Structure 1
Amino acid sequence: MNIDVVIGNALTDTSSNENKLLLAELYFLKGRNDKASEYLDLLANDENIQTHPKPELYARWLKNRGLILWNQGKTDQALEFLQQSLANYQEIDGLNQSNIADLLNNIGLVYVRNEPAIAVSYYEKALDIYSESEAENLDKIIQISINTSLAEINQGNQINALRILNEALSKWKRSHEAGLPTEAFIKANIGNVYLATDQLVLANDYLNEARIIYLQNYGQRNSELANVFAQLSELELKSGSYVKSLEFIQKALKANSFEFDATDFTKNPTADDANKLNIQLTLLMRKAIILESFYFGYSLKKSHLELALATIDEADSILENIRAGTTNKKDLLELSDLASELYEDGQRIALQLQKVTLLGTGFLEKAFQYAEISKSSLLKTAVVESEAQSFAGIPAEVLEQEKALSSELAYLNTQISLESEISKLNLLRDQYFQLKQKHQQFIEKLEREYPEYFNLKHKDSFVSLRDIQDKLKNDEAIIEYSMAPKSNQIILYLITKDGLSYHRIYELDDVLRFLRAYRNTLIYNLQGSFQSIAHNLYDYLFPIKLNKDINKLVLIPDGELATIPFEALVKTQNDNSAFYNLDYLVKSFDIHYSYSASLYQSNDNARYGNEALLISPIEFGQGIAMLPASEQESEHFKSWCDQRAMSIESLVKSDATKARFKNSALDEYRFIHLATHGTVDLQSPDLSGVYFKQDDKEPNNNILYVGEIYGLSINAELVVLSACETGLGKINRGEGVMGLGQAFAYSGADNLILSLWKVADESTSLLMQSFYQEELGNETHSFSSGLREAKLSMINSDYSAPYYWAPFILWGK
Structure 2
Amino acid sequence: MFCGFQLGGEVTIALTERQRLAGALACLFPFLLHCMLDGGGGSKHWEATFLYYLAEANRLLGLNDDAMTIYRQPIDAVEQARTLSIPSEVSRAGIVSARHDVFAGTIDFMVSRHREAEAFEIAEAWHARALLDILTESRVDLTKDLSASQREQEDKLFARISSVQRELWSAGGRAAPEEELKMNLARAENELESFQLEMRRSNPRYAGVKYPRPQKAEEITARFSDDGTALIEFVLGDQKSFAWIVHGGRISSVVLPPRKQIEAVVSNYRAALNEHVSALTVKTSIASTDLLGSQLYETLFAPLESQLKGAHSVVIVPDGVLFYLPFESLRRAAVASKKEADAPYLIERFAISYAPSATALRLIQDPKESTTGARGLVAYGDPIYTAVKFDSSSAQTGRGAELTSLPYTRDEVSAIASLFALADRHAYTGAEATEASVKSADLSHIRYLHFAAHGVIDEDNPMRSGIVLSRVAQSNEDGTLQMNEVVRLKLGAEVVTLSACRTGLGKVMNGEGVIGLTRAFQYAGAKDVVVSLWNVNDVATSELMKAFYQNLTRGLRKDEALRQAKLQFLHGARGTWKHPYFWAPFVLNGAND
Using structure 1 for the length normalisation, give the TM-score.
Answer: 0.62
- The aligned counterpart of 2:496 is 719
- The aligned counterpart of 1:388 is 140
1:806 to 575, 584, 587: 584
Shift of 1:565: 1.0
In the TM superposition, what whole-angstrom CA distance separates every residue of 1:175-195 from its partner, at most 9, and x where no partner exists?
A: xxxxxxxxxxxxxxxxxxxxx
- The aligned counterpart of 1:495 is 246
Q: One-letter code of the match for 2:221?
A: Q
CA distance in 1, matches of 2:492, 2:311: 31
**Alignment CA distance shift 1:758-1:421 (3 Å):** closer
CA distance in 1, matches of 2:153, 2:252: 46
Bigger mean CA deviation after superposition, 525-534 or 693-702: 693-702
Indicate conservation of the 8 Å contact 1:407/1:708, yes or no: no
2:237 to 470, 475, 484: 484
Note the 1:41-440 alignment, pairs <5 A.
Answer: 224=7, 231=11, 234=13, 240-257=19-36, 279-296=43-60, 299-323=61-85, 326-352=86-112, 354-355=113-114, 363-389=115-141, 396=144, 398=146, 436=193, 438-440=195-197
In the TM superposition, what whole-angstrom CA distance separates every residue of 1:8-37 from its partner, at most 9, and x where no partner exists?
A: xxxxxxxxxxxxxxxxxxxxxxxxxxxxxx
- The aligned counterpart of 2:386 is 621
**Alignment CA distance shift 1:479-1:757 (3 Å):** same
Q: One-letter code of the match for 1:626?
A: S
Shift of 1:760: 1.4
CA distance in 2, matches of 1:495, 1:433: 42
Shift of 1:279: 3.4
Q: One-letter code of the match for 2:570?
A: I
Shift of 1:796: 1.4
The answer to whether structure 1 residue 517 and structure 2 residue 277 are counterparts is: no
- The aligned counterpart of 1:554 is 315
The answer to whether structure 1 residue 783 and structure 2 residue 540 are counterparts is: no
CA distance in 2, matches of 1:348, 1:277: 28
Which structure has the highest strand share of the two? 2
Indicate conservation of the 8 Å contact 1:468/1:601, yes or no: no
Q: One-letter code of the match for 2:450?
A: H
CA distance in 1, matches of 2:229, 2:40: 45
In the TM superposition, what whole-angstrom CA distance separates every residue of 1:449-490 from its partner, at most 9, and x where no partner exists?
A: x4xx633x24333222222222223211000010112x1x22
The answer to whether structure 1 residue 675 and structure 2 residue 452 are counterparts is: yes
Percent identical pairs in the alignment equals 21
Q: One-letter code of the match for 1:454?
A: A
Give 3-state SS (helix, strand or coil) of 1:738's partner: strand
Using structure 2 for the length normalisation, give the TM-score.
Answer: 0.83
**Alignment CA distance shift 1:630-1:253 (3 Å):** same
CA distance in 1, matches of 2:342, 2:413: 31
Indicate conservation of the 8 Å contact 1:531/1:570, yes or no: yes
CA distance in 2, matches of 1:313, 1:618: 48
CA distance in 1, matches of 2:457, 2:195: 32
Q: One-letter code of the match for 1:468?
A: I
**Alignment CA distance shift 1:402-1:341 (3 Å):** farther
Note the 1:577-656 alignment, pairs <5 A.
Answer: 583-606=344-367, 607-608=370-371, 609-621=374-386, 623=388, 624-642=403-421, 647-656=424-433
- The aligned counterpart of 1:660 is 437
Indicate conservation of the 8 Å contact 2:493/2:526, yes or no: yes
Q: One-letter code of the match for 2:295?
A: N
Bigger mean CA deviation after superposition, 516-525 or 280-289: 280-289
Indicate conservation of the 8 Å contact 2:234/2:244, yes or no: yes
CA distance in 2, matches of 1:474, 1:303: 35
CA distance in 1, matches of 2:164, 2:383: 30
Shift of 1:595: 1.0
Give 3-state SS (helix, strand or coil) of 1:303's partner: helix
2:291 to 532, 539, 542: 532
Which structure has the highest helix share of the two? 1
Give 3-state SS (helix, strand or coil) of 2:364's partner: coil
CA distance in 1, matches of 2:54, 2:543: 58
What runs of 5+ residues in structure 1 fail to find an aligned partner?
A: 1-199, 211-223, 259-273, 356-362
Give 3-state SS (helix, strand or coil) of 1:242's partner: helix
Indicate conservation of the 8 Å contact 1:572/1:583, yes or no: no
CA distance in 2, matches of 1:411, 1:330: 23
Indicate conservation of the 8 Å contact 2:154/2:192, yes or no: no
CA distance in 2, matches of 1:400, 1:592: 41
CA distance in 2, matches of 1:680, 1:244: 50
What runs of 5+ residues in structure 2 fail to find an aligned partner?
A: 169-176, 278-284, 389-402
Q: One-letter code of the match for 1:465?
A: A
Give 3-state SS (helix, strand or coil) of 1:727's partner: coil
**Alignment CA distance shift 1:746-1:411 (3 Å):** farther
In the TM superposition, what whole-angstrom CA distance separates every residue of 1:316-356 from its partner, at most 9, and x where no partner exists?
A: 34323324xx124443343232143332222123223x24x
Give 3-state SS (helix, strand or coil) of 1:678's partner: strand
Give 3-state SS (helix, strand or coil) of 1:484's partner: coil
Indicate conservation of the 8 Å contact 1:678/1:691, yes or no: yes
Shift of 1:717: 1.7
Greater RCO (Cα-Cα under 8 Å, separation 6 or more): 2
CA distance in 2, matches of 1:551, 1:744: 27
- RMSD of the TM alignment (CA)? 3.4
CA distance in 2, matches of 1:439, 1:490: 38
CA distance in 2, matches of 1:467, 1:652: 46
Shift of 1:713: 3.9
Q: One-letter code of the match for 2:310?
A: D
Shift of 1:562: 1.0
Indicate conservation of the 8 Å contact 1:523/1:757, yes or no: yes
Q: One-letter code of the match for 1:340?
A: H
**Alignment CA distance shift 1:622-1:454 (3 Å):** farther
**Alignment CA distance shift 1:317-1:528 (3 Å):** closer
Shift of 1:410: 6.0
Q: One-letter code of the match for 1:673?
A: H
Indicate conservation of the 8 Å contact 1:411/1:708, yes or no: no
**Alignment CA distance shift 1:564-1:280 (3 Å):** closer
Indicate conservation of the 8 Å contact 2:382/2:430, yes or no: yes
In the TM superposition, what whole-angstrom CA distance separates every residue of 1:536-584 from its partner, at most 9, and x where no partner exists?
A: 2101011121343111100111111111211110134168989899611
In the TM superposition, what whole-angstrom CA distance separates every residue of 1:682-706 from its partner, at most 9, and x where no partner exists?
A: 3333333221112131499222233
Q: One-letter code of the match for 2:104?
A: E
CA distance in 1, matches of 2:569, 2:33: 65
CA distance in 2, matches of 1:499, 1:454: 38
Paired positions, count: 550
Give 3-state SS (helix, strand or coil) of 1:655's partner: coil
CA distance in 2, matches of 1:708, 1:738: 15
CA distance in 2, matches of 1:444, 1:599: 25
CA distance in 1, matches of 2:342, 2:384: 37
- The aligned counterpart of 1:42 is none
The answer to whether structure 1 residue 768 and structure 2 residue 520 are counterparts is: no
**Alignment CA distance shift 1:506-1:387 (3 Å):** same
In the TM superposition, what whole-angstrom CA distance separates every residue of 1:615-662 from its partner, at most 9, and x where no partner exists?
A: 1135421543222222221112211221xx763332111101122222
2:203 to 430, 446, 450: 446
